[in-house]
Chain A
Amino acid sequence: MARSGTARRVTRAATVPEKIPIRLTVNGSQMELTVAPWTTLLDALRDHLDLTGTKKGCDHGQCGACTVLVDGRRINSCLTLAVMKEGAEITTIEGLARDGELHPLQQAFIDQDAFQCGYCTSGQICSAAGLIAEGKARTPDEIRELMSGNICRCGAYPNIVAAILQAMERS
């Protein structure tokens, strides 16, 4: 979209910034890629590494669809620059299953019918994996509060909470 401030700001950049080579461990595999400084981790995963399981909803930290685990912690990949995560270990929805077996959370989301359109689901599951690792949520109220960073426009919330409770009981 044409905006008054944009053209002037673009001319302020003295030289076109160079792309930067980085290394990431994604779902256990070493990856080498070359990205522009402003490439988000989300775009690096989807557009450079073809890992499209991680979704782009709002691109502004407001929906949680882009949630991935970085060094075991859940974050929004849309507000993270890939270059800032050089050397980090990233886990996406594609990396949760082990030896052809679904992750307990993936199984629980199926068992509890915890999605409708499915757009928020990979973010919900990665976020829930982070939640379980944190070990702070015990009650449904606590799960709801600590999962509030994941919006579900289909409103599958009761089933999502049930799925997380199921996975927590079995882990």
Chain B
Amino acid sequence: MTPFQYARANDVADAIKQIATDPSAKFIAGGTNLIDLIKYDVEGPTRLIDISHLPLRSVEPTAAGGVLIGAMVPNTDLAYHPLIEQRYPLLARAIMSGASQQLRNMASTGGNLVQRTRCFYFYDTTTPCNKREPGSGCSAIDGVNRINAILGTSEACIATHPSDMCVALAALEAAVHVAGPAGTRTIALADFHRLPGNTPQRDTNLEPDEIITAIELPSKGFSANYSYLKIRDRLSYAFALVSVAAALELDGDTIKDARLALGGVAHKPWRSSAAETVLRGERADASAFARAADILLHGAKGYGHNNFKIGLARRAIMRTLGQAARGTPQSNSDKKIR
């Protein structure tokens, strides 16, 4: 482990000032990802700037009819917030399917977005990994890649983004509010995470001296017809092999609007506007769901151990859309997939 200094940020401006003056510094919020990576020597910041005490802890309705979520709101508090439980239950379910209650009590909304991949080789500092050590190679492509990506991959990296929360945020078309030395800006969730390309060391389009201050949800929450289905090796406290966030707006049997996002399959939550367009105006039935699944999975490619994810994703998409259409979202407690 690299020894590091510790300092608290007094406010957002102070946090930005502190990070701008020290390129080897990092923010720490819940610590659930960063401390883990520091212990494994995957990350080695020489200064931690504690942003966990910043007053970014409110969940408030916006003038536009949506909700603004402070970056320091713990995952549990967000999932249990009445505004989220009632109007954005897809988000609540996705959050509650991730990690454990202890971790969700610590993990922050902002940190969840910036958490790093769980690729085995990224964690194993004795092996080459382009994300950890640019130019060293990718051990996963020809290695044990059961948990790795099937979509949007590159020759340099086939890692996935591990967040459940972000899959729901992608489906809900959330926006990320950030602040930096040049002022504030808003990044659409779809543009927040990157594909690996030739620069897998960069997970997101957040600049190193920028801080996430809030997440904004638009007004549409799809609270009647939604489901988050997470398929994993054990029924709780495990990362997704494949997860699906589905949200429908129905007029009788007819789909008026649809959102569909996948987790566990790519370097970012995976969406396709064509897959959602093909659902609009159709009857909510298995043949429409199958067409959407095929479009969303177009170009999917396995790397050996993870070939199973393609068929698994197709069936999970069909199942989740069916749950959403019936208004019977996947339960996080009894775990029975209906």
Contacts and interface: CB of A to CB of B under 8 A. Distances in A.
Contacts of A9: 2, 41, 44
Interface stretch (A23-31, A47-55, A60-68, A106-114): A60-68
Contacts, number: 118
B100 A148 contact: yes
Contact of A13 (B3, B39, B100): B3
B80 interface: yes
Interface string B1-36: 111111000000000000000001000100110011
A150 B2 CA distance: 29
A144 B80 CA distance: 18
B237 interface: yes
A84 B152 CA distance: 38
Contacts of B100: 64, 148-150
Contacts of A80: 31, 35, 106
A83 B46 CA distance: 16
A130 B100 CA distance: 12
B105 interface: yes
B236 interface: yes
A64 B102 CA distance: 8
Contacts of A141: 333-335
Given A73-B105, A74-B102, A141-B334, A81 B28 contact: yes
A168 B196 CA distance: 48
Contacts of B1: 38
A5 B31 contact: no
A90 B36 CA distance: 21
A117 interface: no
Given A81-B28, A84-B31, A17 B332 contact: no
Nearest to A137: B333
A12 B25 CA distance: 11
Given A13-B2, A13-B46, A17-B4, A6 B237 contact: no
A84 to B, nearest CB: 6
A84 B105 contact: no
Contacts of A60: 36, 39-40
Interface residues of A, number: 46
B41 A3 contact: yes
A157 B72 CA distance: 33
A61 B80 CA distance: 22
A40 interface: yes
Interface residues of B, number: 38
Interface string A1-25: 0011110011011101110100000
A170 interface: no
A131 interface: yes
A167 interface: no
The binding surface of chain B is classed by DSSP as loop
A38 B126 CA distance: 23
Contacts of B35: 40, 79-81
Instruction: Output the residue of A3, A64, A83, A84 with the most chain B CB within 10 A.
Output: A84
B3 A75 contact: no
B133 A75 contact: no
Contact of B237 (A13, A16, A59, A149): A149
A37 B48 contact: yes
B52 interface: yes
B106 A75 contact: yes
A74 to B, nearest CB: 5
A4 B125 contact: yes
A32 interface: no
Interface of B: 1-6, 24, 28, 31-32, 35-36, 38-41, 44, 46, 48, 50, 52, 80, 99-103, 105-106, 125-126, 133, 236-237, 332-335
Given A145-B236, A148-B101, 11 more contacts: A9-B2, A12-B44, A14-B46, A17-B6, A36-B3, A38-B1, A64-B100, A74-B101, A79-B106, A80-B106, A84-B50
23 contacts: A3-B41, A5-B44, A5-B125, A9-B41, A9-B44, A12-B2, A12-B24, A12-B46, A13-B2, A37-B4, A73-B105, A75-B106, A76-B106, A79-B31, A79-B36, A79-B106, A84-B31, A84-B52, A131-B101, A145-B335, A147-B101, A148-B100, A150-B100
